[in-house]
A and B are shown apart, each in its own frame.
Chain A
């Protein structure tokens, strides 16, 4: 076994740490990934986890719910330890003030110094990037966009949560806790790997073109040259007043090769619509309708298992809006059980990253 998971729901951070240490025992941890409820002392938990695993690269973030080996939890800490067979090499960097594109370049210069290869030349079949971002920073689009400009290595991850308080989210690296920051890690896995990006939506074939937007504020002012809220309501065939009730069931998406990159509406502001991720003028978005999260996720995990032959670990970043939908439909347990046969950790996130910044999606790193 070269990947091991553990979780704890103990009351104090000291008890949680002891619980983790006892579950991991003498496992030779090279890298430890953890996701913790925001109720777990976010300012000190990162240091305590690092102190408990002093030789390991430790990264993580706060959550809006956790996932581990067949269970969806709340108020817990979940962790995955990788030994040097699973992860041959890893370098962690913190990007503070992630809206500043120079901070990404600085992190990448450090990666290049470590791996002795320019990031633009690093082989995406041999290396993986992990990204965890302050979920209230609003910086994800710029960050993942800049990363995508600088390397072909796939960065996968998500935006930290805070149990739906929307006050403060934290990312953790090497014993410190950060806000307004992103943690990036470049790994050289010692085993084959693949990625899952799964979302459960059908394209209804109705297009909303962004004709006026405030991209910084994730605000669409006009779709199809009409006030955005009215245009959205019209394609749904409902009144503007009814439209917000349809947001979760009917988001919009940029459809690329038949697959949507989901943009979820947050609220109506005047005649405009605010989104949970970026929208660009000229973008042609399709109206989507939610389908079956359980079935689609099951198929995606089965496909990854077929591709790799077996699975030794899954890191699952699952959008909080998916978690809320599962909760509404009383499918939370069923979703958790999809991962019962695989060592898995994950969390409910305030946004997901893979190629771009997306919503209502699960992004997963899957290792053989």
Chain B
């Protein structure tokens, strides 16, 4: 399977930044400091379970 990571990253950024470009930058920085570079993931990227677990933890806090 592929593309889930990009989908999750986009969802986090949309939910948290709500189209505020300054917040988009901050949230991307926060992800990079967790070891997840949003620029590296595309719809073709493999679904790495370790990265998905990190993103799930972030998404959990959004609920």
Cα–Cα distance between A207 and B35 once the two chains are bound (Å): 15
Is A145 interfacial (CB 8 A cutoff)? yes
Best-surrounded residue of B16, B23, B33 (most CB of chain A within 10 A): B33
* Range, interface on chain B: 10 to 19
Cα–Cα distance between A230 and B32 once the two chains are bound (Å): 25
Choose one: B25, B35, B37, B58; the contact of A149 (CB below 8 Å): B58
Question: Which A residues are CB-close (under 8 A) to B29?
Answer: 256-257, 261, 355-356
Rounded to whole Å, the gap between the CB of A367 and the closest CB of chain B is 19
Contact B26 A120 (CB under 8 A): no
Contact A282 B23 (CB under 8 A): no
Contact A355 B26 (CB under 8 A): yes
Which residue of chain A is the closest to B59 with respect to CB atoms? A149
Choose one: B25, B30, B37; the contact of A148 (CB below 8 Å): B30
Cα–Cα distance between A148 and B27 once the two chains are bound (Å): 8
Question: Which A residues are CB-close (under 8 A) to B61?
Answer: 120, 149-150
Is A283 interfacial (CB 8 A cutoff)? yes
Which residue of chain A is the closest to B25 with respect to CB atoms? A257
Question: Number of A residues contacting the other chain (C-beta, 8 Å)?
Answer: 19
Best-surrounded residue of A154, A254, A256 (most CB of chain B within 10 A): A256
Is A281 interfacial (CB 8 A cutoff)? yes
Cα–Cα distance between A145 and B25 once the two chains are bound (Å): 16
Which residue of chain B is the closest to A215 with respect to CB atoms? B35
Contact B35 A145 (CB under 8 A): no
Question: Which A residues are CB-close (under 8 A) to B16?
Answer: 152
Contact A283 B26 (CB under 8 A): no
Cα–Cα distance between A254 and B39 once the two chains are bound (Å): 14
Known contacts A152-B16, A152-B23, A257-B25; decide if A356 and B33 are in contact (CB<8 Å). Answer: yes
Known contacts A150-B61, A152-B23; decide if A283 and B30 are in contact (CB<8 Å). Answer: no
Is A70 interfacial (CB 8 A cutoff)? no
CB<8 Å pairs between A and B, sample of 5 = A256-B28, A280-B34, A280-B35, A355-B26, A355-B33
- Having A148-B30, A356-B33, one finds 12 other A-B pairs with CB under 8 Å, namely A120-B61, A145-B34, A149-B57, A149-B58, A150-B61, A152-B26, A154-B26, A256-B32, A257-B25, A261-B29, A284-B37, A355-B29
